[in-house]
């Protein structure tokens, strides 16, 4: 078992924090407006992410996945229910969470170089320049952008910008990564590279990850567990534990017959969103 306090992989200069706390969502609901015109977006969401787990939230577009993620990140208050980390209910963006947005173009600051962007949350924590730049450089290294620190975000390709955004969340020492359709804005090849990068980082750092995605293949490939969100208002229609060989590999894993079965099952569930109790089945 890894040392729970500090995780050092060979070649790492800076320690990173392995996840130790579970993210628990209970009875979460979100309603916009009041009275007759009220729009119920989320209803009775139950979700649990154990330390070090990778959970994907899938559902059709407009289902409310992004709303759920924003509530998890503390950016929006929920109407009902609670979100807690390690037993502590969160009401504002918590320290433990690093958010990676879908639109990297609008979340990376164009007047700062890549390394300064990555170091920015640490600057917000009051860390001194020398140390935060060192940690930022390590984070860039771990996403394969060790040489790109001095470039501006708009000088980088889409995939590289998203990696900078991931490096930023890692440098922040977040133990839980929340990602909102992080690979939707890049091309398919880059998407595979970024998926594998995410898996490698999770393995190396021991962080928990929650990924919101509409791509079912991606969800099955990445996850330990898939939470299927569907219907209007959106609720959890099924939770599927994904049992596939580790480490995942783009060709071998997707050739595994169990992969296709998981995929069909989830797709069927999205199309027929009758809510069931949380079920853990093996195909």
Beta-sheet strand order (sheet of 39-49): 39-49, 23-32, 80-85, 88-89
Q: Residues 148 to 177: which contact another protein by CB under 8 A? A: 152, 154-155, 168, 172
Beta-sheet strand order (sheet of 54-58): 97-100, 176-180, 208-213, 54-58, 225-230, 235-241
**Binding map of another protein across residues 97-126, x = CB under 8 A, - = no contact:** xxx-x-x-xxx-xxxx-------xx-xxx-
Residue 255's contacts (CB-CB under 8 Å, 6 or more residues apart) are none
Nearest CB to another protein, comparing residues 114 and 228: 114
Which one of residues 4, 62, 93, 247 is an interface residue with another protein (CB under 8 A)? 93
- Regarding 55 and contact with another protein (CB under 8 A), the answer is no
Nearest CB to another protein, comparing residues 113 and 254: 113
Nearest CB to another protein, comparing residues 150 and 264: 150
Nearest CB to another protein, comparing residues 80 and 123: 123
Q: Are strands 88-89 and 54-58 parallel, antiparallel or unpaired?
A: unpaired
Return the structure tokens found at 49: 């992410």
Q: Closest distance between another protein and the C-beta of residue 59, in Å?
A: 22
Q: Residues 176 to 195: which contact another protein by CB under 8 A? A: none
Q: Are strands 208-213 and 176-180 parallel, antiparallel or unpaired?
A: parallel
Q: Within 10 Å of residue 102's Cβ, how many Cβ atoms?
A: 20
Binding residue count for another protein, defined by CB under 8 A = 28
Q: Within 10 Å of residue 20's Cβ, how many Cβ atoms?
A: 14
Nearest CB to another protein, comparing residues 169 and 228: 169
Q: Closest distance between another protein and the C-beta of residue 26, in Å?
A: 22
Nearest CB to another protein, comparing residues 73 and 211: 73
Is residue 247 within 8 A of residue 201, CB to CB? The reply is no
Q: Closest distance between another protein and the C-beta of residue 17, in Å?
A: 15
Q: Closest distance between another protein and the C-beta of residue 179, in Å?
A: 12
Q: Closest distance between another protein and the C-beta of residue 154, in Å?
A: 5
Look at residues 247, 201, 202 and name the one whose alpha carbon lies nearest to residue 221: 247
Which one of residues 9, 13, 75, 252 is an interface residue with another protein (CB under 8 A)? 75
Which one of residues 63, 71, 73, 194 is an interface residue with another protein (CB under 8 A)? 73
Q: Closest distance between another protein and the C-beta of residue 221, in Å?
A: 26
Distance CA 57, CA 139 (A): 26
Residue 178's contacts (CB-CB under 8 Å, 6 or more residues apart) are 69, 72, 73, 97, 98, 99, 100, 210, 212
Distance CA 117, CA 106 (A): 12
Nearest CB to another protein, comparing residues 9 and 109: 109
Task: Give the interface with another protein as residue ranges (CB under 8 A).
Answer: 73-75, 92-93, 95, 97-99, 101, 103, 105-107, 109-112, 120-121, 123-125, 152, 154-155, 168, 172
């Amino acid at each position: 078992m890894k040392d729970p306090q500090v995780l050092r992989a060979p070649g790492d200069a800076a320690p990173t924090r392995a996840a130790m706390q579970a993210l628990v969502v209970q009875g979460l609901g979100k309603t916009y407006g009041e009275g007759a015109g009220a729009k119920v977006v989320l209803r009775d969401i139950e979700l649990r992410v154990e330390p070090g787990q990778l959970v994907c939230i899938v559902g059709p577009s407009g289902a409310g996945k992004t709303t759920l993620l924003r509530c998890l990140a503390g950016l929006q208050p929920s109407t009902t229910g609670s979100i807690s980390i390690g037993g502590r209910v969160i009401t504002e963006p918590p320290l433990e969470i690093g958010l990676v947005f879908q639109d990297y173009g609008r979340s990376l600051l164009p007047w700062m170089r890549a390394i300064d962007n990555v170091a920015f949350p640490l600057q917000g924590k009051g860390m001194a320049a020398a140390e935060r730049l060192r940690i930022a450089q390590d984070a860039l290294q771990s996403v394969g952008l060790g040489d790109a620190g001095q470039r501006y975000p708009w000088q980088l390709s889409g995939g590289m910008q998203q990696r900078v955004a991931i490096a930023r969340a890692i440098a922040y020492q977040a133990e839980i990564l929340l990602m909102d359709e992080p690979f939707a804005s890049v091309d398919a090849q880059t998407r595979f590279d970024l998926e594998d990068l995410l898996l490698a980082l999770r393995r190396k750092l021991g962080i928990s990850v929650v990924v919101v995605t509409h791509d079912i293949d991606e969800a099955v490939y990445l996850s330990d567990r898939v939470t299927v969100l569907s219907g209007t208002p959106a609720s959890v229609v099924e939770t599927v534990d994904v049992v596939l060989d580790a480490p995942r590999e783009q060709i071998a894993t997707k050739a595994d017959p169990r992969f296709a079965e998981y995929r069909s099952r989830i797709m069927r569930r999205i199309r027929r969103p009758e809510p069931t109790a949380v079920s853990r089945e093996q195909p």
